[in-house]
Amino acid sequence: MASFFDLLRDIIHPGYCRRCGGCVAFCQANNYGALETSPEGWPQFRNAERCLECGVCYQICPATGQLTAETRRRVAWSAPIGRVMDSGVFRSTASSAATHPDGKVGLGLIEHLFATDRIDGAVVLPTDHVFNKASQLARTPDQLRALDDKGLTTSQVRAAASSLEVLGSVRKTGLRRVAFMGTPCQVETVRKMEILAVPPAERLYCTIGCFCDGDFLLGPAQQDRLEKLGFFRWNDVRHITLRDHLEFWLAEGKTRDIPMEDLDFMRRYACRLCTDYSAQFADLAVGGTGAPHGWSTVIARTPLGQAILSEARQTALEPFNGTAASQTRHNALYTVCRLAERKQHRALHSSRAAM
Ligand code: SF4
Ligand code: SF4
Ligand code: SF4
């Protein structure tokens, strides 16, 4: 049985680790302290002698290719971007959504799940400061709104490896049904964890995946280059939204766009090999891609996702009904498909270059 020793050899040391956080969060020797996350976000042994060599970490890792066929079967996956049962362009009906770059769709969906008593907890992504995210667990609608005041986001311009650690911590709570919001690679890990029935899979209600073009390294050199590419000063940035480009929202509502192709200098190596843009394994996939400013594209991928979207659009979500609404919905899905294909081509090119 392949274990964390094999994960180190096959995935982590060669640079393929996506830093999803799953191996540490769901390690079967978690209580004995076998694994830990390094200060830089890499999984590592804390005490190798505690490893049970059970193989769970290797099987759930999204970079090993294990359980891929089962994962696809579970969500009735089909090419090129996974199953699409329903889709549209929405924003939250919360009053604060009208002026938000992505329309606070994540907030709307999770508020709806709380309001209809579907969940008693949600792992969400508040932003501390533009690129910085730290996942947190909201146990009540009030806690959710407090996190939203910090800036709840579906814009995956930087993954938070802590998301799965927070989900893993649900085991130690009395929560019964939890919604999980994260990157496509994290959603894939969660699906594999469900297949293996690794706790707290039994407490997971639904997964909301955010469109993702990469996790970016952000140090002083990268900030400096972004400022030059976008003609802005970092201190003026208020929000960042991922569309078919990276959109920087500055003070006084001004925006600056940087094409994603120009960001290879800061995209992490493992993300160049990743093929999932549109959260193919999630119940619901969301993000600003293809939607007009102030709105988000939502794709329902499973019967559960479809039911949630269908109910939420009556209450918590407002559908885009502006001029050419049906054309807007069509364009949104088309843009997601186009960017998903671009990511798949980039991964193919990068893996060939690595051979
Ligand atoms: S105990 Fe299992 S899940 Fe934990 S590191 Fe060892 S092989 Fe991986
Ligand atoms: S991709 Fe995730 S599961 Fe795989 S080694 Fe990295 S952190 Fe662990
Ligand atoms: S590009 Fe892929 S590997 Fe990187 S954060 Fe996004 S989903 Fe994860």
3-class DSSP assignment, residue 211? coil
Q: Of 128, 170, 116, 178, which is closest to residue 153 (Cα–Cα)?
A: 128
Residue nearest to atom 6 of ligand 2 (CA): 17
Shared-domain flag, residues 232 and 296: yes
Rounded Cα gap, residues 236 and 252, in angstroms: 9
Residue 327 has pLDDT above 70, yes or no: yes
Mean pLDDT of 173-189: 94
- Decide if 76 is inside a domain: no
Rounded Cα gap, residues 167 and 191, in angstroms: 13
Q: Which of 13, 18, 192 to mutate to test the pocket of ligand 2 (most atoms within 8 A of CB)?
A: 18
- Decide if 73 is inside a domain: no
What residues are paired with 8 via a beta bridge?
none
Provide the pLDDT for residue 128: 57
Q: Of 196, 148, 190, which is closest to residue 283 (Cα–Cα)?
A: 190
Pick the range with the lowest mean pLDDT from 96-105, 125-134, 184-193: 125-134
Answer yes or no: are the C-beta atoms of 86 and 306 closer than 8 Å: yes
Residue 134 has pLDDT above 80, yes or no: no
Provide the pLDDT for residue 132: 63
Of 220 and 85, the one with more pLDDT = 85
Residue 348 has pLDDT above 70, yes or no: yes
**Among all ligands shown, which has an atom nearest to the Cα of 3?**
1
Provide the pLDDT for residue 353: 77
User: Can you list the alpha helix ranges (DSSP code H) found in the chain?
Assistant: 4-7, 22-25, 56-60, 68-74, 105-115, 141-151, 162-169, 184-195, 220-230, 269-272, 303-312, 325-354
Residue nearest to atom 2 of ligand 1 (CA): 54
Q: For residue 119, how many other CB atoms are within 10 A of its CB?
A: 23
Length of the chain: 355
Q: Indicate the Cα dihedral angle 60, 64, 70, 75, nearest 10°.
A: 80
Residue 160 has pLDDT above 70, yes or no: no
Mean pLDDT of 19-33: 91
Q: Which of 5, 28, 66 to mutate to test the pocket of ligand 1 (most atoms within 8 A of CB)?
A: 28
Provide the pLDDT for residue 146: 86
Answer yes or no: are the C-beta atoms of 332 and 289 closer than 8 Å: yes
Ligand 2 atom closest to 11 (CA): 5
Shared-domain flag, residues 247 and 330: yes
Mean pLDDT of 203-215: 93
Rounded Cα gap, residues 187 and 42, in angstroms: 18
Whether ligand 3 lies within 6 angstroms of the CB of 158 is answered as no
CATH of the domain at 44: 3.30.70.20
Provide the pLDDT for residue 341: 94
Whether ligand 3 lies within 6 angstroms of the CB of 215 is answered as yes
Ligand 1 atom closest to 55 (CA): 7
Shared-domain flag, residues 171 and 312: yes
Provide the pLDDT for residue 247: 84
- Decide if 132 is inside a domain: yes
Mean pLDDT of 331-337: 95
Provide the pLDDT for residue 335: 94
Ligand 2 atom closest to 189 (CA): 3
Reported confidence tier of residue 98, pLDDT bands at 50, 70, 90: confident
Mean pLDDT of 146-169: 72
Residue 120 has pLDDT above 60, yes or no: yes
**Among all ligands shown, which has an atom nearest to the Cα of 27?**
1
Shared-domain flag, residues 56 and 89: no
Residue 235 has pLDDT above 90, yes or no: no
pTM of the model: 0.93
Give 75-94 pLDDT, tens digit per residue: 999 998 999 999 999 999 98
Provide the domain limits for residue 36.
Answer: 4-68
Ligand 1 atom closest to 3 (CA): 7
Shared-domain flag, residues 102 and 52: no
Q: Indicate the Cα dihedral angle 2, 76, 115, 21, nearest 10°.
A: 20
Reported confidence tier of residue 352, pLDDT bands at 50, 70, 90: confident
Tally the domains of the chain.
2
Cis peptide before 200 (omega within 30 of 0): yes
Residue 161 corresponds to which amino acid? A
Residue 130 has pLDDT above 70, yes or no: no
**Residues within a 6 A CB radius of ligand 2:** 7, 11-12, 17-23, 43, 61-63, 189
Structure tokens at 7: 């994960």
Find the 200 Cα to ligand 3 centroid distance in Å: 23
Residue nearest to atom 5 of ligand 2 (CA): 17
Shared-domain flag, residues 220 and 322: yes
Structure tokens at 146: 């407090």
Q: What percent of the chain has pLDDT over 90?
A: 63
Rounded Cα gap, residues 284 and 340, in angstroms: 16
Shared-domain flag, residues 141 and 224: yes
Provide the pLDDT for residue 164: 87
CA triple 239-157-141, angle to 5 deg: 65
Whether ligand 3 lies within 6 angstroms of the CB of 97 is answered as no
Whether ligand 1 lies within 6 angstroms of the CB of 198 is answered as no
In the chain, the largest separation of any two C-alpha atoms, in whole Å, equals: 63
Find the 203 Cα to ligand 1 centroid distance in Å: 21
3-class DSSP assignment, residue 182? strand
Residue nearest to atom 3 of ligand 2 (CA): 61
Whether ligand 3 lies within 6 angstroms of the CB of 271 is answered as yes
Average pLDDT of the chain is 89
The full DSSP string for 245-300 is EEEEEEGGG-EEEEEGGGGTTTB-HHHHT---SS-TTSSEEEESTTSPTT-EEEEE
Rounded Cα gap, residues 192 and 216, in angstroms: 25
Give 287-326 pLDDT, tens digit per residue: 989 999 889 999 999 999 999 999 999 899 999 987 788 9
Shared-domain flag, residues 27 and 89: no
Q: Which of 37, 68, 99 lies at the terminal end of a domain, its last residue? A: 68
Q: At a CB cut-off of 8 Å and minimum separation 6, what does 183 contact?
A: 20, 156, 159, 163, 209, 210, 212, 215, 279
Provide the pLDDT for residue 102: 78
Whether ligand 1 lies within 6 angstroms of the CB of 29 is answered as yes
Rounded Cα gap, residues 257 and 267, in angstroms: 17
Q: What percent of the chain has pLDDT over 70?
A: 94
Whether ligand 3 lies within 6 angstroms of the CB of 185 is answered as yes
